[in-house]
Structure 1
Amino acid sequence: MADEKLSKGLLDAAFKKKSEEEEQKVKEEDKATVGDIITFEKDGQQVEAIVTSARLQNSVVCDMTIMEDFDERDLDVEKTVVAHTNYSIKKRSDNN
């Protein structure tokens, strides 16, 4: 009986985890593409960047130097990778 309860608990946990993962997936039409301007949080700051590569499955590569105050922000890098779940699209590229 204890084994059945343990098995049921493990199955329930697995289904819950899978369900949560499915909810976090971003629809294709909501993903940024090259040239889009996105916003996201980095190092406690709201950041704006242009997408330079969208070939990764779960994220995009973007360039933050488009911000006029990039040099004053004291960010360590010019480019970064952002998961699809962690950004919002500010402006779509004219090429889309």
Structure 2
Amino acid sequence: MKIIRSKSFTAERAWGALDIANMGGITTRLHWTDQPYKWHVNDGEEVFAVLDGRVEMRYREADVEHSTVLETGDVFFASVGAEHVAHPLGEARILVIERAGSV
């Protein structure tokens, strides 16, 4: 049993994570960041839920770049092959569910 107070979680570096669970190769991790990630394509699907803060999510579809701001409580789903990058607007805490070892 675990109870995690996400609002109080911080990491020593941007995108540092607390591993919450590994369920049959699917990980659930809580990330803290105040810096952008990098453009990437996951090797599987990804669920990205903003628990605290705001995040500008940039993604490409048919070589066209799009952007949306995710508020606290918003969820972004990246399907297989979806190129994307997260840019926090200040500090953010994000729950990420994805295949273990994914980028």
**TM-score, normalisation: structure 2:** 0.31
Q: Which has the higher contact order (CA 8 A, sep 6+)?
A: 2
- In terms of fraction of residues, the more strand-rich structure is 2
Q: Could you say which structure has the larger radius of gyration? A: 1
- In terms of fraction of residues, the more helix-rich structure is 1
